Amino acid sequence: MILDGKKISEQIKTEITEEVKIFSAKNNFVPGLGCILVGSIPASEYYVKSKVKSCGEVGFYSKLNKFDSTISENDLLFEIEKFNNDAKIHGILIQLPLPNHINEEKILQSVIPEKDVDGFNPINVGKLVLGQKTFVPCTALGILEILKRYKIETMGKHVVVVGRSNIVGRPIANLLSQKEYGNAIVTIVHSASKDIASFTKQADILIVAIGKPKFITANMVKNGSVVIDVGINRIQKGNESILIGDVDFENVKNVASAITPVPGGVGPLTIAMLLQNTLLAAKLSVGGNY
Amino acid sequence: MILDGKKISEQIKTEITEEVKIFSAKNNFVPGLGCILVGSIPASEYYVKSKVKSCGEVGFYSKLNKFDSTISENDLLFEIEKFNNDAKIHGILIQLPLPNHINEEKILQSVIPEKDVDGFNPINVGKLVLGQKTFVPCTALGILEILKRYKIETMGKHVVVVGRSNIVGRPIANLLSQKEYGNAIVTIVHSASKDIASFTKQADILIVAIGKPKFITANMVKNGSVVIDVGINRIQKGNESILIGDVDFENVKNVASAITPVPGGVGPLTIAMLLQNTLLAAKLSVGGNY
């Protein structure tokens, strides 16, 4: 079975559009997302544009502030502070990566927790790990949504997460091992292992976020397992530039019982979850609950 | 080999005593620990007393404030605020558990991050998970110290953590999977697994913090593995009340290459690490680094 992230993300956007109508009728404002883009990395420009476009589709307000890659850290902090204080903005997105002269840690901490819809502020990371209500990072939330909407059982299952990034691997590993979210047995594997396959072959659910094209091959996957591919790698194929995942989709799909494609898997969900978190932030701003 | 936590903790206390002499000569004050004990649970009283006593041994200032179990949440918050503002106090310890009418989450968040020597404030938990410098929870830090002082290699090893508590299982799992701390492959197992033994048998290093006496038996342990027992269970044996761990020590010690006893293993380290974190807090208060 192909886990169709594009279809789910469209469903979610439709649901959000309906919710926004009700929300704005009641509160006389719409949820707003403030985006910050520094520099001109093509992939970053593409992602931010997609996010802004999606905001329009569901009826959100959005504002994109673009800055030259030479912007100083202090000036950038000042710009974030503007969004922190802007009543029309409920969620703030800082498109990563940032230029080397800017301290990413410091920038992500400067987004107030109430508008931290990416869930990257340490206080929100801490709450997530402690099992408290907070903004869940969008990609991790997207994975949970795929599992939920396709009714994939996680309780007591062995989930193997390949990759330990702060953006994907670590939050999804922490979430799925919690009673409330997944109640799964979770192994987090990474490059320090001499035999990654010995772990991936055990997975009932394999989540791959390592950023290496076709890293996971069919012989590394257990028969009948569920494979979630978070990788988005742009490679050159002849004259064409194409996107491929961290999983060798064509071969692994014959072994797995369910698999996400790239593109059209986790990617679209990530944007839908950003919208969902922004709606949540707007709700919380008028006294709503998680 | 028996991993002698008592001996290591004595070494560390000696080291801290020396450091305190140098520190106080330079800064004209000694590190101070503020302890809060609510109610009269015998184990809690015992632990807090041990902590206060250890402060004296290494030359720290300490203050123990005891409250009746009927104290209101607001009054307790007010008491913590006093320690937050007390220049003589560099670390604050809230002995857990708290009575049911008090929101533990709220209390732990009220300790300012700079004095959070238990590492339980969400912002410090988040920093730990993100790989930033912060106070590491004492028991997790004690486990790291045992591994370090006995030169037990963790890189690329398979660490299996049994138990997912916020106090032990989760922080040690997050730490050991980080490049900087352990660089290990980490599996976190818990009660939702139908076959815990299938995971524990794979462990090169097995860390058990599940709170069930003799839960880990010899047939659940791989030959030659390292076993760290975090459990402290008080049971009745005839007329005697004795402490035993989560591991069936007598039998597992014949299978493991190294093992911590209970008592005398991780327990004493936890107190030594509380002292170390308090010394660190005092150093940071005068502009020192992690």
Residues A55 and A142 in one domain: no
DSSP string spanning B260-272? --SSSSHHHHHHH
User: How far A131 CA sits from the closest chain B CA (Å)?
Assistant: 9
**Looking at residues B205-231, what average pLDDT do you find?**
98
Known catalytic residue at B95: yes
Q: How many domains does chain A have?
A: 2
Percent of chain B with pLDDT over 70: 100
pLDDT for the residue numbered A112 = 98
Judged by CB atoms closer than 8 Å, whether chains meet at A185 and B186 is answered as no
A194 contacts chain B (CB < 8 A): yes
| Amino acid occupying residue A227 | V
What does the alpha-carbon distance between residue A207 and residue B215 come to, in Å, rounded to a whole number? 30
Tell me which residue has tokens 């290591």: B8
B127 contacts chain A (CB < 8 A): yes
What does the alpha-carbon distance between residue A102 and residue B261 come to, in Å, rounded to a whole number? 48
Label residue A98 exposed, middle or buried (CB < 10 Å: 0-12, 13-18, 19+): buried
A-chain residue closest to B159, CA distance: A187
Judged by CB atoms closer than 8 Å, whether chains meet at B192 and A186 is answered as no
DSSP 3-state assignment of A199?
helix
Q: What value of ipTM does the predicted structure carry?
A: 0.96
What does the alpha-carbon distance between residue A194 and residue A132 come to, in Å, rounded to a whole number? 35
Given pLDDT bands bounded at 50, 70 and 90, which one contains residue B71?
very high
Percent of chain A with pLDDT over 70: 100
Structural domain includes residue B122: no
A23 contacts chain B (CB < 8 A): no
Q: From residue B33, give the alpha-carbon distance in Å to each of A159, A246, B51, B56, B287.
A: 41, 49, 9, 10, 19
| Amino acid occupying residue A234 | R
CATH of the domain at B81: 3.40.50.10860
Residue B264, phi-psi category: left (phi > 0), alpha (psi -120 to 50), beta (remainder): left
For chain A, the average pLDDT equals 97
Residues B185 and B88 in one domain: no
Residue A290 has pLDDT above 90, yes or no: no
What does the alpha-carbon distance between residue A214 and residue A231 come to, in Å, rounded to a whole number? 9
Structural domain includes residue A225: yes
**Looking at residues B37-62, what average pLDDT do you find?**
96
**Looking at residues A194-215, what average pLDDT do you find?**
97
B165 contacts chain A (CB < 8 A): no
Q: What is the pLDDT of residues A80-95, one digit of tens each?
A: 999 999 999 999 999 9
**Looking at residues A31-47, what average pLDDT do you find?**
95
pTM score, two decimals?
0.96
Given A112, A146, A173, which residue is the final one in a domain?
A112
Residues B152 and B99 in one domain: no
Given pLDDT bands bounded at 50, 70 and 90, which one contains residue B290?
confident
A270 contacts chain B (CB < 8 A): no
pLDDT for the residue numbered B24 = 97
Residues A177 and A107 in one domain: no
Residues A185 and A244 in one domain: yes
Query: Which positions ≥6 away from B48 have C-beta within 8 Å?
Result: B35, B37, B64, B93, B95
pLDDT for the residue numbered A55 = 98
pLDDT for the residue numbered B91 = 98
Judged by CB atoms closer than 8 Å, whether chains meet at B192 and A174 is answered as no
For chain B, the average pLDDT equals 97
Residues A87 and A164 in one domain: no
What does the alpha-carbon distance between residue B231 and residue B57 come to, in Å, rounded to a whole number? 26
Query: Are B163 and A167 spatial neighbours (Cβ–Cβ below 8 Å)?
Result: no
Q: What is the pLDDT of residues A146-169, one digit of tens each?
A: 999 999 999 999 999 999 999 999
Structural domain includes residue A4: no
What does the alpha-carbon distance between residue B91 and residue B58 come to, in Å, rounded to a whole number? 15
Residues B206 and B157 in one domain: yes
DSSP 3-state assignment of B94?
strand
CATH of the domain at A142: 3.40.50.720
Cis-peptide into A97, omega within 30 deg:
yes
Residues B257 and B168 in one domain: yes
Structural domain includes residue A81: yes
pLDDT for the residue numbered B242 = 92
Active site residues of A: 51, 95, 118
Cis-peptide into B97, omega within 30 deg:
yes
Q: What is the pLDDT of residues A257-285, one digit of tens each?
A: 999 999 999 999 999 999 999 999 999 99
Interface test with B, best of A120, A129, A176 (most B CBs within 10 A): A129
* DSSP one-letter code for A155: T
A with B: how many residue pairs have Cβ under 8 Å apart?
Answer: 92
Helix or strand holding residue B195 (H, E): none
Residues B152 and B247 in one domain: yes
Instruction: Using alpha carbons only, give the angle A186, A191, A197 rounded to the nearest 5 degrees.
Output: 65
Query: Are B276 and B55 spatial neighbours (Cβ–Cβ below 8 Å)?
Result: no
Report the first-to-last Cα separation within chain B, whole angstroms. Answer: 32
Query: Are A147 and B143 spatial neighbours (Cβ–Cβ below 8 Å)?
Result: no
Known catalytic residue at B179: no
Query: Which positions ≥6 away from A115 have C-beta within 8 Å?
Result: A34, A83, A84, A89, A90, A91, A92, A281
The helix-helix angle for A138-149 and A5-27 (nearest 10°) equals 110
What does the alpha-carbon distance between residue A116 and residue A135 come to, in Å, rounded to a whole number? 7
Q: From residue B251, give the alpha-carbon distance in Å to each of B98, B217, B218, B230, B247.
A: 36, 7, 6, 17, 9
B103 contacts chain A (CB < 8 A): no
pLDDT for the residue numbered A277 = 98
Structural domain includes residue A126: no
Tell me which residue has tokens 């730990």: B128
Hey, what are A245's tokens? 């995942």
Judged by CB atoms closer than 8 Å, whether chains meet at A166 and B132 is answered as no
Structural domain includes residue B21: no
Residues A236 and A162 in one domain: yes
Residues A42 and A80 in one domain: yes
Residues A260 and A157 in one domain: yes
Judged by CB atoms closer than 8 Å, whether chains meet at B126 and A121 is answered as yes
Q: What is the pLDDT of residues B101-141, one digit of tens each?
A: 999 999 999 999 999 999 999 999 999 999 999 999 999 99
What does the alpha-carbon distance between residue B92 and residue B83 come to, in Å, rounded to a whole number? 7
Given pLDDT bands bounded at 50, 70 and 90, which one contains residue B78?
very high
Structural domain includes residue B218: yes
Judged by CB atoms closer than 8 Å, whether chains meet at A177 and B190 is answered as yes
Q: What is the pLDDT of residues A187-196, one digit of tens each?
A: 999 999 999 9
What does the alpha-carbon distance between residue A77 and residue B87 come to, in Å, rounded to a whole number? 31
Give the distance from CA A228 to its chain's centroid: 13
What does the alpha-carbon distance between residue A174 and residue A91 come to, in Å, rounded to a whole number? 23
Structural domain includes residue A285: no
Tell me which residue has tokens 């509380």: B274
What's the domain range around A157? 138-267
